[in-house]
Structure 1
Amino acid sequence: MSKGTCIDAMAKVNISVLVEEDLREDLKRLANVERRSVSQLVSLLIEDAVARAKAAGKIPLDQQEKPRE
């Protein structure tokens, strides 16, 4: 691997969601306050929701995964 090359452990994929216009505007405002893009904010919200679901046993952990705290 050449110097300065960064390879993510997981490839990122594109998903699409439909939300109400009011929710989109709220997401924009929150993203602005947190100095993130809407995409970054939504990705973080999804990661947090999935981590909580795994911790609650709603989603089985992969054998390689350790529970998040």
Structure 2
Amino acid sequence: METKLAKKKEEIRGMAQSLQAMTHEAEESRAKYMVLKTRKNKLKTELINRIDHFVRLKATEMLLMLELGFL
């Protein structure tokens, strides 16, 4: 009887360690996801800023072309 109890305790201990490892992996995955999400948002903001800058340059170019009579 005691050997069955000891085996059961060891089995439960192993399951608890496995659960702790899975929890740790989930936390790491969540942290990696947050880093990637932050990086994506920064790149998206930079892209929008560059597109905005390009549009302003094109508008300035059009105004210059109109003033110089090329259009």
| TM-score normalised by structure 2 residue count | 0.30
Compare the two structures and name the one with the higher helix fraction: 2
Q: Which has the higher contact order (CA 8 A, sep 6+)?
A: 1
In the superposition, the TM-score normalised over structure 1's length comes to 0.31
Greater C-alpha radius of gyration: 2
